[in-house]
């Protein structure tokens, strides 16, 4: 089995293209096949080397290793043209000397809707001898494929038996007058030369398949097995676009989505393992994947599900792998890399305590930042819930907590003993002290266990934050 992913470098690698690449890669790995990358760069005006690099980076980020390639379609234009001319020599194609405007005028005059059939009629009327003479004289012409009569049929891996009436197909141009090949000619020539056995691609290519099947037959080449996977739609049932969510893969990488979560999510867009599994690492996906379970119905892109899946993968990711990702985010937020690297074990523990509470890498970084810098921002909702309702009482409690902590050994058990002992003296539940203290230490209404927080922050930073909270509460209580 040989499969290929054939993107055009005219833009970034988008979600739909990434899903197509993944399905091809999974199939190749499941069947012990070969995964080939061919960059279809024949659109010289729109093709960009930076986009090619983005495609390669995106595949590498997803973990989709190449077996062959990248190959560039532009390097095979001589072969494309040679295949087109062979069809001409065999009488399976014809020269078209008309320009599009002239062709439309002839079609109107003859009352014919299919302009390509008019081109064929004009070519047949001209005759091969006159056609060859005009070509030898240097007159420009395109080469059109002569679509045969009858029907074109194939069995699609997703849609089953397919049938197209050839009378509905145009005599497609396969070589332009400037000598460059058109899409269908180039694809068939390349897939044949690369011995591609299975073409797995999006439903948007379904209309190209009968044309390509006919070209394979005319060229007397082996026809690959085709499989057309469902389109990806937005929540409103329309084709996925920027109005629904970001479509470029890089945007999700930048947003803190893990590659394993994106792979898991993309695999479930139009495919099912046949059971209720949703969290599936890449090796499990390879084992379970089959084209038989690819759905015909279009898949809906659900951003909430992607974030949920990311949170699950984030929670189970080894902290040694996650910590560098979080560190990179924190450095981007102005935190010193050297400080975190010097306290590597401490930093990994910090990340580990927060990774199960987040949905993205960025969430983890935002949760961790208050532990690695002195500046602290108070969440308004947390302040309203745990300080503002009774600032005088909270002020007294924080004063008492500071005194209780000042002489305690800075470890979880002694700190817990000091807080719970104070709660007993004040005849209040421990939560009445913990919630205001959490806001003082982290600025937030939620965090890991408060005693883990105290130890992570350390004595000096913890007491300094309690002191700052006391000053803030004096202002709230009208003492400032």
Average pLDDT over residues 256-261: 96
Mean pLDDT for 55-70 is: 96
Judge whether 447 lies within some domain.
Answer: yes
Our measurement of the distance from residue 362's CA atom to the centroid of its chain's CA atoms, rounded to an integer in Å, reads 17
Q: Is the pLDDT of residue 435 over 90?
A: yes
Element at 143 (helix H, strand E)? strand 142-145
Mean pLDDT, residues 208-228 taken together: 98
* Host H or E run for residue 233: strand 232-233
Helix (H) or strand (E) holding 173: strand 173-175
User: What's the confidence (pLDDT) of residue 181?
Assistant: 94
Q: Does residue 106 sit within a domain? A: no
Give the up-direction half-sphere exposure of residue 472: CA atoms within 13 A in the CB hemisphere. Answer: 23
Q: Residues 401-409: what's their mean pLDDT?
A: 94
Spatial separation of the C-alpha atoms in residues 267 and 308, rounded to whole Å: 15
217/338 same-domain check: no
Query: Other CB atoms closer than 10 Å to residue 163's CB: what's the count?
Result: 9
For residue 66, what is the domain's CATH number?
3.40.50.620
Average pLDDT over residues 152-168: 96
Q: Looking at the predicted structure, is the pLDDT value of residue 480 above 60?
A: no
| Assigned domain for 137 exists | no
pLDDT, the chain, mean: 93
Residue range 34-58: average pLDDT? Answer: 88
Which backbone phi and psi does 122 adopt, to 5 degrees? -65, -40
Distances in Å between the alpha carbon of 58 and those of 10, 21, 22, 110?
A: 15, 10, 11, 51
Is 160 among the domain residues? no
Per-residue pLDDT, averaged over 347-375, amounts to 94
What pLDDT, on a 0 to 100 scale, did the predictor assign at position 108? 61
- The more confident residue out of 242 and 211 is 211
Q: Are 103 and 119 spatial neighbours (Cβ–Cβ below 8 Å)? A: yes
Quick one: the chain helix, strand, coil %, rounded to 5? 55, 10, 30
User: Contact, 40 vs 73, CB < 8 A?
Assistant: yes
| Domain co-membership, 293 together with 425 | no
* Residue 12, pLDDT score: 84
Q: Within a 10 A sphere around the Cβ of 349, how many other Cβ atoms? A: 16
What is the average per-residue pLDDT within 423-427?
95
How far is CA 252 from its chain centroid?
A: 7
Residues 261 and 402 in one domain: no
More confident residue, 113 or 166: 166
Q: Which of 372, 401, 416 is the last residue of a domain?
A: 372
Helices of type H across 291-442: 303-316, 319-332, 337-342, 344-355, 361-372, 380-386, 391-406, 412-426, 431-442
Is residue 166 one of the residues assigned to a domain?
no
| Set 242, 305, 389, 432: catalytic member | 242
Give CA–CA dist 458/468, Å, rounded.
Answer: 15
Please tell me whether residue 385 adopts helix, strand or coil conformation: helix
Does one domain contain both 414 and 367? no
Average pLDDT over residues 356-377: 93
User: For residue 259, what is the domain's CATH number?
Assistant: 1.10.1160.10
The proportion of the chain whose per-residue pLDDT surpasses 70, expressed as a percent, equals: 96
More confident residue, 110 or 172: 172
Taking residues 351-355, report their average pLDDT: 95
Compute the distance between CA of residue 2 and CA of residue 36 in angstroms, rounded to an integer.
7
- Its domain, for residue 14, covers 2-71+183-232
Q: Binning pLDDT at 50, 70 and 90, where does residue 177 land?
A: very high
The answer to whether residues 223 and 10 touch, using CB atoms and an 8 Å cutoff, is no
Known active-site residue 432: no
Q: How far apart are CA 211 and CA 164, in angstroms?
A: 10
Cis peptide before 70 (omega within 30 of 0): yes
Kindly give the pairing relationship between strand 232-233 and strand 299-300. parallel
Across the range 399-425, mean pLDDT stands at 96
Please check whether residue 53 lies inside any domain of the structure.
yes
What is the CATH number for 398?
1.10.10.350
Q: What is the pLDDT of residues 100-133, one digit of tens each?
A: 777 766 666 665 666 777 888 889 989 999 999 9
> For residue 152, what pLDDT is reported?
97
pLDDT given for residue 107 in this prediction = 61
Peptide linkage before 86 cis (omega within 30 of 0): no
Q: How far, in Å, are 15, 274, 346, 416 from residue 340 at the CA level?
A: 34, 45, 8, 27
The label of the residue with tokens 């040989």 reads: 2
pLDDT digits (tens, 9 = 90+) for 260-298: 999 999 999 999 998 999 999 999 999 999 999 999 999
By DSSP bridging, strand 198-202 and strand 173-175 are: unpaired
- Residues 300, 334 within the same domain: no
Window from 45-54, 318-327, 345-354 with minimum mean pLDDT? 45-54
Per-residue pLDDT reduced to its tens digit, 380-392: 999 999 999 999 9
Integer Cα distance of 450 and 76 in angstroms: 65
DSSP 86-140: HHHHTTSEEEE---HHHHHHHHHHHT-S-HHHHHHHHHHHH-HHHHHHHHHTT--
Give the tokens for residue 268.
């479930």
Q: Is the pLDDT of residue 353 over 60?
A: yes
Residue 417 located in a structural domain: yes
Question: What is the pLDDT, as a whole number, of residue 309?
Answer: 97
Using an 8 Å Cβ cutoff, are 194 and 36 in contact? yes
Kindly state whether residues 299 and 424 are assigned to the same domain: no
Structure confidence at residue 455 (pLDDT): 96
Q: What is the pLDDT of residue 116?
A: 72
Can you tell me the distance from the alpha carbon of 123 to that of 127, in angstroms, rounded to the nearest whole number? 6
Residue 235 has pLDDT above 90, yes or no: no
Identify the pLDDT of residue 283: 95
CA-CA distance, 327 to 313, in Å (whole number)?
Answer: 18
Confidence band for 243, pLDDT divided at 50, 70 and 90: low
pLDDT of amino acid 110: 60
In terms of domains, do 326 and 387 share one?
Answer: no
Q: Output 245 or 205, whichever has higher pLDDT.
A: 205
Query: Order of strands across the sheet with 173-175?
Result: 93-96, 142-145, 173-175
Number of compact structural domains in the chain: 4
Strand, helix or coil for residue 69: strand
Q: Do residues 441 and 391 share a domain?
A: yes
Q: Which of 397, 378, 371, 389 is nearest to 439 (CA)?
A: 378
- Which phi and psi (to 5°) does residue 100 adopt? -55, -40
């Amino acid at each position: 089995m040989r499969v290929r992913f054939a993107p055009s470098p005219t833009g970034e690698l988008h979600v739909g293209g990434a899903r197509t690449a993944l399905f091809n890669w999974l199939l190749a790995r499941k069947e012990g096949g070969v995964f080939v990358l061919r960059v279809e760069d024949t659109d010289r005006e729109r093709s960009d080397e930076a986009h090619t690099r983005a495609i390669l980076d995106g595949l590498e980020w997803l973990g989709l290793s190449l077996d062959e390639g990248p190959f560039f379609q532009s390097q095979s234009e001589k072969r494309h043209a040679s295949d087109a001319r062979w069809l001409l020599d065999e009488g399976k194609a014809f020269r078209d000397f008309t320009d599009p405007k002239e062709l439309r005028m002839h079609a109107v005059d003859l009352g014919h809707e299919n302009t390509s059939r008019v081109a064929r009629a004009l070519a047949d009327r001209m005759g091969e001898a006159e056609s060859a003479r005009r070509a030898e004289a240097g007159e420009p012409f395109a080469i059109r494929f002569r679509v045969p009569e009858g029907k074109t049929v194939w069995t699609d891996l997703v849609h089953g038996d397919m049938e197209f009436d050839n009378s509905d197909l145009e005599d497609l141009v396969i070589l332009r007058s400037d000598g460059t090949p058109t899409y269908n000619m180039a694809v068939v020539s390349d897939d044949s030369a690369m011995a591609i056995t299975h073409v797995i691609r999006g439903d948007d290519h379904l209309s190209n398949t009968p044309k390509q099947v006919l070209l394979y037959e005319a060229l007397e080449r082996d026809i690959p097995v085709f499989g057309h996977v469902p389109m990806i739609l937005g929540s409103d049932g329309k084709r996925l676009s920027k109005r629904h969510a970001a479509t470029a893969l890089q945007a999700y990488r930048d947003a803190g989505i893990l590659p394993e979560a994106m792979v898991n999510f993309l695999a479930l867009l139009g495919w099912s393992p046949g059971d209720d599994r949703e969290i599936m690492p890449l090796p499990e996906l390879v084992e379970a994947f089959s084209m038989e379970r690819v759905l015909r119905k279009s898949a809906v892109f659900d951003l909430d599900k992607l974030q949920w899946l990311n949170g699950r993968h984030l929670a189970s990711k080894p902290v040694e792998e996650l910590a560098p990702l979080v560190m990179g985010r924190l450095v981007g937020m102005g935190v010193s890399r050297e400080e975190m690297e010097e306290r590597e074990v401490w930093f990994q523990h910090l990340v580990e305590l927060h990774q199960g509470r987040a949905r993205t890498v960025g969430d983890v970084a935002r949760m961790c930042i208050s532990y690695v810098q002195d500046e602290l921002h108070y969440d308004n909702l947390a302040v309203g819930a745990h300080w503002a309702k009774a600032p005088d009482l909270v002020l007294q409690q924080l004063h008492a907590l500071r005194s209780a902590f000042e002489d305690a050994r800075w470890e979880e058990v002694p700190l817990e003993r000091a807080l719970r002992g104070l709660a007993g003296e004040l005849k209040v539940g421990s939560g009445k002290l913990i919630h205001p203290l959490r806001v003082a230490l982290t600025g937030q209404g939620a965090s890991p266990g408060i005693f883990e927080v105290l130890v992570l922050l350390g004595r000096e930073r913890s007491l300094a934050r309690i002191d700052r909270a006391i000053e803030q509460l004096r202002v709230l209580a009208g003492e400032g």
